[in-house]
Amino acid sequence: MSEDLHNPELYINRELSLLEFNRRVLAQSQDEGTPLLERLRFLCIASSVLDEFFEIRVAGLKQQEAVGASQRGPDNLSPSEQLRRIKATADGLVEAQYQVLNEVLIPKLDIQGIRILDEGDWNDKQKQWLKRYFKKELAPIMSPIALDPAHPFPQPLNKSLCFIVALEGQDAFGRQIGRAIVQAPRAFPRVVRLPDSCATSPYEFVLLSSIIESHVSGLFPGMKATGCYPFRVTRNSDLFVDLEEVDDLLRALEGELSSRRYGDAVRLEVDVDCPDDLEAFLRAQFRLNQDDVYRCNGPVNLMRLAAIPDLVDRPELKYPGFTPRIPDRFRQAGDAFEAIREGDILVHHPFDSFAPFIEFLRQAAADPQVLSIRQTLYRTGPDSAVVEALTRAAASGKEVLVVIELRARFDEEDNIELANHLQSVGAQVVYGVVGHKTHSKMSMVVRREGRSLVRYVHLGTGNYHQRTTRLYTDYGLFTSDPDIGEDVQQLFQQLTSMGKAGRLKKMLQSPFTLHKTMLELIDQEARNAAGGRTGYIFAKMNSLVEPQVIQALYRASQAGVKVDLVVRGICALRPGIKGVSGNIRVRSIIGRFLEHTRVFHFENDGDPKLYLSSADWMGRNFFNRVETCFPIEDPAIQKRILAECRLYLTDNCQAWQLESDGLYQRVQSTASERRSAQETLLEEITGG
């Protein structure tokens, strides 16, 4: 154990690890085993993930570089060095994205009668229809800006579609303009489906960018557009709120949201054919250098293509549908409270339905014996049945308390609107703790039963968002355990009164006990192994970054503890290093559903400890968020969770193995049996 566990070579840079996650997502678009339209979706998801990476992570590194920040992470890379490595990796990812689109997906879609038409593909009838569409629909609301001293360069919105146009000829005032900027109307879809009257295939689409490029000269009477090139600027989208000075978090965020659209530029995407002088002109306007430019051999925003699968009714080119299961006890009892009283109930989304939770809230809203409902909301989505049930409960006179995290990234505006709505119907709304995002997922109903008050609780690893419960894997636990109920009550009181929660009976909490307890449990496995007993750790999460936890895992591996980690995204730990992490295996599962469960299992010398949590093993989750971690004590539920987790360790279809060099290799099993964790769970739980 003489190895220096602070050695930077033992840590993978978190930003480069996130780019490797992007590479794994992109690989799904290349996978012949994935349905064709789903491959297009994966390409769009990879593009969207890369967008957010630049908006948040690259933007932050640029700020650090600008102020000369000297603080470094465990890998000891400076901001400048990270940006250099990011550029090299991101260039390759962007090239691969467009290669997949142009050389693989577009030809395969074309074979299926799903065509994305360039100007050169339009026949006379289509040209006429598109010309009318431009003239009647687009041109009346477009405002081209010729660039001169009276018309300075505009400031495009973050990630909005724009064009730089090269012009010849004089304007109405006899001036030689030379250049202009055209911004695409935000209200129009970026993908236009051609009507049956002029389509030659079942599904034919034209990109809005192609329509504008073809007809842009019509916006400049008397002049000729000699070139029209789409571009898009990505801006710093991280919100800044001075938490020491803020008096009203809602108002402070409302004021900050508008600045997100016009934050400092961090990336410029331009058409591959854009002339060098126009690219240099754009760079100068956005104060960017050459390393901030990415040439796009296709649409500058691939995410817009995500509309196509939704517009195409071809089920055989998509994942097959399925009906999530409703657990037997909920279905048989009808009464949610009766079902929960019989014992804890576990649901595993999306294989198990989210409907029981909605029904739980609806019954609580209508039940005269229910006195109060307390709920955390991080992301909910539009037209939320959860919000509808809470609204009904408040309107019926029940005590409804909702803790809304206003700073859920990119959902801030929705959450502000939600807070205002709930307050208007009589619910008590608080915004959590200033300086600590409330990321815990808790719901509690207090019901009078005879002379007693009984607490019914739901705890989860994911958000109360109906759409994502069909797309993300998450666990939820329904329980009426008195100790858990008392813990949850204390946690809600802490969030509203800011008083100390006191010692919780069963649950762990960030920022107080979760980090400390995880270190203790890991170290206990190390002591057990060192003493000749069996040591084993299984942990499944989205990200593993926190250095003290990584060092504890290294010590456990050195002591002989076998460690299996399933980490979907960022992993800063290097597995497989002799004498340090030789007993640690790290896998990532990328498939139909986004893996989102957090499961922590410790063998504990034959007396296993199993926890589910809202928290990843990251510094922000341990120290800067309000998180919950709850034990699973029912033997049958423990057995089910561990059996499901083992599926991820034997997956030979959608699994990637992390190597010690920080790169991932797709698991290629020699076994004849095909094993997919997600497909097995779909079949076993839903019968699909």
- Catalytic residue numbers? 439
Residues 6+ apart with CB under 8 A from 134: 211, 212, 214, 215, 218
Largest CA distance in the chain: 90
Residue 607: left if φ>0, alpha if ψ -120 to 50, beta else—which one? beta
Give the span between the Cα atoms of 154 and 143, in whole angstroms: 11
The torsion angles phi and psi of 165, rounded to 5 degrees, stand at -115, 130
Eight-class DSSP state of 58: I
Give the span between the Cα atoms of 656 and 571, in whole angstroms: 13
Give the span between the Cα atoms of 236 and 58, in whole angstroms: 8
| Selection from 554, 551, 560 nearest residue 530 by Cα | 560
Give the span between the Cα atoms of 419 and 391, in whole angstroms: 11
Kindly tell me the burial class for residue 477, based on how many C-beta atoms sit within 10 Å of its own C-beta (0-12, 13-18, 19 or more).
buried
HEC sequence for 289-352: CHHHEEEECCCCCHHHHHHHHHHCCCHHHCCCCCCCECCHHHHHHCCHHHHHHCCCEEEEECCE
Sheet holding 191-193, edge to edge: 114-116, 203-207, 191-193
Distance of CA 42 to the CA centre of its chain: 13
What DSSP assignment string belongs to 627-654?
EEEEE---HHHHHHHHHHHHHHHH-SSS
The dihedral built from the CA positions of residue 172, 173, 176 and 177, taken in this order, carries a sign that is negative
Residues 6+ apart with CB under 8 A from 481: 344, 457, 506, 633
Length of the chain: 688
Q: What is the token pair recorded at 531?
A: 């003493």
Give the span between the Cα atoms of 49 and 25, in whole angstroms: 9
Q: Which residue has the tokens 């034959």?
A: 606
What DSSP assignment string belongs to 610-626?
EEEES--BSHHHHHSEE
Q: What is the token pair recorded at 104?
A: 């693989």
Eight-class DSSP state of 279: H
CB-facing half-sphere around the CA of 246: CA atoms within 13 A: 17
End-to-end CA distance of the chain: 49
Give exposure, 594-603, as e/b (b: 16+ Cβ within 10 Å). bbbbbbbbbb
The torsion angles phi and psi of 588, rounded to 5 degrees, stand at -130, 135
